[in-house]
Structure 1
């Protein structure tokens, strides 16, 4: 049941996002679109409550409970970011708004961007770890909570691997071809190109 609910929440996230953007920009129903977009966190609340009730009703902790915690964590870390990015693209394509800035591709600007993404992964991991630890304490039986502890290890590995990837952009920055740096990026001659030009 929990796995099906995780899948349903993921599908629901994208359906609500599509309906919200369509209502805002195609139908010009701004309030309806905003209500649909603001309704997305309710999906995670439903998943959290369902997982807690499943454990409360005596279900043996399994990998599906760990998956639910990880899903909620990463929705907290990346959900708003995803909605904001897609809203910016919809504004540009459907409402004549400015073209969204592309992520920087080179130098320290790229390293800062990757570092920001890693901070989101770190937030997601902290939320998932907290939920998993709460479930472990709630169940209480050390032998029964091994799948949840395994998910804690998986969560730490995800955060660690992403951290190393982000750090590699700082230690080994990709250099832009001569004179071709984008806005806010460093050129190979040591100068920065002014943002927005």
Structure 2
């Protein structure tokens, strides 16, 4: 016969249950960010396989067009999580940053991978290499910087929306920390592109000089 008494260990305080629920919500957001990143590359692989292996370019393009849906799902889940009263932390900031960088860099990444796959295995033309010298290189760097800056600006906007939603009395330190990182990303890209503008790399005068292709940023 079981005792009618309940020990203190058998009782979970409401505060403990609430804290446990918040931890579970934060884990869900973090896992969803990882799942979106994995799904991005899976959809990219499936889309390219349909395009080149199965010879169904329209179907492959349709699969690739599903990529933005990942960001929509992540944005909606994050908004619902905050709306339900969850305290914003670094995982919500990470979700905003992921969405921003997918917006700014996702399309370019797909184009680069598509060109590489077509050339590597299906007889396509070699990918266009970036210019290496002078004004052409500076323009290339500014275009690259523009993609990174767009990504950072989108992330900043989403982070600021979360800050406004939470209010000045809420826990916004983690969101503001991500904003500072995005400003650093913008600054680094402006410095790199500005360096190529103010100090353009000159072509070697010796035609036989060893000329290595610089690593291309995204």
Deviates more, 1:60-69 or 1:170-179: 170-179
Compute the TM-score of the two structures, normalised by the length of structure 2.
Answer: 0.78
The answer as to whether partners of 1:26 and 1:94 remain within 8 angstroms in 2 is: no
| Aligned-residue CA RMSD (Å) | 1.7
Matched, 1:57 2:84: yes
2:70 aligned to 29, 34, 43, which one? Answer: 43
Matched, 1:77 2:104: yes
For 1:80-115, what per-residue CA distance to the aligned partner results, in whole angstroms no more than 9, with x for missing partners? 111112222233334433222111122221111110
Q: Secondary structure at the match of 1:174?
A: coil
Aligned length: 181
Matched, 1:169 2:196: yes
Computing the radius of gyration from Cα coordinates, the structure with the larger value is: 2
Q: Equivalent residue for 2:133?
A: 106
The answer as to whether partners of 2:93 and 2:178 remain within 8 angstroms in 1 is: yes
Q: Equivalent residue for 1:144?
A: 171
Compute the TM-score of the two structures, normalised by the length of structure 1.
Answer: 0.85
Q: Equivalent residue for 1:121?
A: 148
Cα distance between partner residues in 2 of 1:23 and 1:3: 30
Q: Secondary structure at the match of 1:105?
A: coil
The answer as to whether partners of 1:107 and 1:176 remain within 8 angstroms in 2 is: yes
Q: Structure 2 regions of 5+ residues with no counterpart? A: 1-27, 208-218
Q: Structure 1 regions of 5+ residues with no counterpart? A: 181-197
- Moved beyond 6 Å, runs of 4+: none
